[in-house]
Amino acid sequence: MIDFSSLRRDAIEGLIRLENAATPFPWTARNLLDSFESSANAYLIEHQGESIGYCVVQRVLDEAELLNIIIFKPFQSQGFGAEAMQKLKQELAGSGIKSLFLEVRASNLVAKTLYEKTGFTMINTRRSYYRVANQKAEDAIMMRCIL
């Protein structure tokens, strides 16, 4: 069973090390610090008392945006991402959120599959949204789930 707990600022460095091993496009410590300094909420995703990932959500009125979700490498592809997403949706719906939005790289097939399986549908494409020096620009797929 999945639990959420508040992500503490002093856990950031360790989380970023795990994130670097989990994805080719990791957030930086600065990205996470910015979420503490904005109104976003960051949660540790836990399974049997162990940290297996984290997610960051920004709420605005009755809508929310999932800014990031990571399941750390040793725990991927075991259903934890889907379980965490269902729990997050339940918690957001319970606090009055009506729609959850997110953006995903067009090439991130695992994440896109996860989102489609958990009730998200594509609403738009931002052409060449992700630009990194010396790499081909990549589209962002915008998705929404009605809670």
Site residues (CB under 6 A) for ligand COA?
22-23, 69-71, 76-82, 104, 108, 110-111, 113-114, 117
Helical (H) or strand (E) element with 130: strand 121-130
When the beta carbons of 96 and 124 are compared against ligand COA, the nearer one is 124
Contact assessment for residue 118 and residue 129, using Cβ atoms and an 8 Å cutoff? no
CB 89, min distance to ligand COA, A: 14
When the beta carbons of 97 and 138 are compared against ligand COA, the nearer one is 138
Name the residue whose CB lies closest to ligand COA.
Answer: 81
Catalytic status, residue 43: no
Find the catalytic residue in 65, 91, 103, 129.
103
Q: Interior CA angle at 44 toward 42 and 48, to 5°?
A: 160
CB 129, min distance to ligand COA, A: 12
Which residue bears the tokens 């009730």? 119
Give just the sign of the alpha carbon dihedral 83, 89, 90, 91. Answer: positive
CB 146, min distance to ligand COA, A: 19
Q: Maximum Cα–Cα distance for the chain, whole Å? A: 44
Report how far residue 18's alpha carbon sits from residue 50's, in angstroms, rounded to the nearest whole number.
Answer: 13
Catalytic status, residue 103: yes
Task: Show which residues are catalytic.
Answer: 103, 115
